[in-house]
Copies of this chain bind each other. A is one copy, B any other.
Amino acid sequence: MMIFSRGFYRISRNLRSSLNGCRGFLFLEDQKREFRLTHNFNLLTDSTEKVLSGEVIFKDLPAFYSSRHQIHNQSSSIVEEQDPFSLVADELSLLANRLRSMVIAEVPKLALAAEYFFKMGVEGKRFRPTVLLLMSTALNLPIPELLPPDELGGTLTTELRSRQQCIAEITEMIHVASLLHDDVLDDAETRRGIHSLNSVMGNKLAVLAGDFLLSRACVALASLKNTEVVSLLATVVEHLVTGETMQMTSTSEKRCSMEYYMQKTYYKTASLISNSCKAIALLAGQTAEVATLAFEYGRNLGLAFQLIDDVLDFTGTSASLGKGSLSDIRHGIVTAPILFAMEEFPQLRAVVDRGFDDPANVDLALEYLAKSRGIQRTRELAMKHANLAAAAIDSLPENDDEEVRKSRRALVDLTHIVITRNK
């Protein structure tokens, strides 16, 4: 695994040098990593700032894309060998059971409502808990200059693990709460292929069930007795709200700004996973540097995830335009593919400004998108963030423990899965 990992970075480095003028695409050099941790992190941040400002990073991407794609093919057999989800499967079902029992309140109707999204078959891949449990193992390092490895007794480790599991549960509760409230907001009739709770049971219950989950999450958070962690996750709730509000903003300038779109995407999607990754590190007593790397992994993985989501809304599983649900554009939400298309065809902006209540306008926008490199450039941007996420894991202090290495490998594999998924 480690050999592949090193090889992966060597290939990346070679790729980088072949990409003339490719600022922002930075992989850390293995030999200097240990001494340049903080500095490298600054570079990661800088590069992402550039992405956030909508600057184009890859001048010669088709070539890069195909090379990178080979890496993906190379890695896919490894992905099968240690499927990130199977690595924590037992713990995940334990966690799912605990979540289910946690939402059984005194008021059965409410429990039913809250459980609605947790029930089997609707839970999806349990993406967030998987990341957080893997991160827990990946950071299972001796706490520097505080506790030598031998003093990390079994009880202490078990207690730490159950606290980290609690973060995974809280994260899922916040996520489901935001889905419930989003469903009310968007008046969405379906979510994940099933009827949304509010169309089945009414807005009233969906708002209450979301509030209920948020309050349970707060109670669980308080039980961790770590006020920094409480702060982190309270801020996440604020970000989810801010993101949703930004999406509602109707000024043309903001709707057509890539920077605004990326900021909104961070708030709506990446803040939860990045801050909970950081919480995992803080509970483990890790250094600020390690906590920041955990945060950066989550942030870049979350951004990559959402960018691919935005592509799939246009393409669906078939990879051809117009086969997706087109739910974003039909709700007037402008995402990365359209924003990139607009850079090539400025006349698309007038179409966007007219809004998408008229289906003819949707068709017109799709025509421009088909002519443009919008979908491709969105995939490239997703890939860029996936690579930054992988680089954050590779920048963690070295560790020879087999379990730690397996989990780190799985976290890197997840970055591939996120950008190659087609549903």
Contacts and interface: CB of A to CB of B under 8 A. Distances in A.
A242 B110 CA distance: 8
Given A107-B246, A110-B245, A245-B107, A212 B238 contact: yes
Nearest to A248: B204
Nearest to A182: B207
Interface stretch (A22-30, A227-235, A381-389): A227-235
A222 interface: yes
A219 interface: yes
A181 interface: yes
Contacts of A211: 181, 214, 237, 240-241
A216 interface: yes
A214 B184 CA distance: 17
Nearest to A111: B245
Interface in A178-231: 181, 184-185, 203-205, 207-208, 211-212, 214-216, 218-219, 221-225, 227, 230-231
B242 A231 contact: no
A105 interface: yes
A278 to B, nearest CB: 14
A162 interface: no
A237 B214 contact: yes
A383 B119 CA distance: 47
A259 to B, nearest CB: 14
A207 B222 contact: no
A231 B222 contact: yes
Contact of A215 (B109, B241, B248): B241
Interface of A: 105-107, 109-110, 181, 184-185, 203-205, 207-208, 211-212, 214-216, 218-219, 221-225, 227, 230-231, 233-235, 237-238, 240-242, 244-246, 248-249
Given A110-B245, A185-B208, A222-B234, 20 more contacts: A105-B238, A107-B249, A109-B245, A109-B249, A110-B242, A184-B204, A185-B203, A185-B204, A205-B248, A208-B241, A211-B241, A212-B241, A214-B214, A214-B237, A215-B237, A218-B230, A218-B233, A218-B234, A222-B230, A227-B230
20 contacts: A105-B238, A107-B249, A109-B249, A110-B242, A181-B207, A181-B211, A184-B207, A203-B203, A205-B245, A207-B207, A208-B245, A211-B214, A212-B241, A215-B234, A215-B235, A215-B240, A218-B237, A219-B231, A227-B227, A230-B230
- The 6 A-B pairs at the shortest CB distance, nearest first, are namely A218-B234, A215-B237, A222-B230, A215-B238, A222-B231, A225-B227
